[in-house]
Amino acid sequence: MKDPKMPDNQALLERLEKLEMRQTFQEQTIEDLNATITDQWKLIDSLKRDLGRLTDQVREVENNVDQAGHKEPPPPHY
């Protein structure tokens, strides 16, 4: 006699198949997220380098203006 608490083989196979499909979907999602994060870090690194170059250029311009010793006259409407 079959125990009513014990699921039959077909029910177990269906549960196993659902779990395997879920696991496959989760693995793909993790891979997609990892690729997205990797791309974002590459972009962030590039933007940091660009910002560093721009900061250096602004400092250089400021230093050149300070070294010139003269200030630009105020506009005529002052």
Q: Give just the sign of the alpha carbon dihedral 74, 75, 76, 78.
A: negative
Q: What is the mean pLDDT of residues 4-30?
A: 90
The pLDDT-based confidence of 48 (bands split at 50, 70, 90) is very high
pTM of this structure: 0.60
Buried b (16+ CB within 10 A) or exposed e, 51-75: eeeeeeeeeeeeeeeeeeeeeeeee
The pLDDT-based confidence of 22 (bands split at 50, 70, 90) is very high
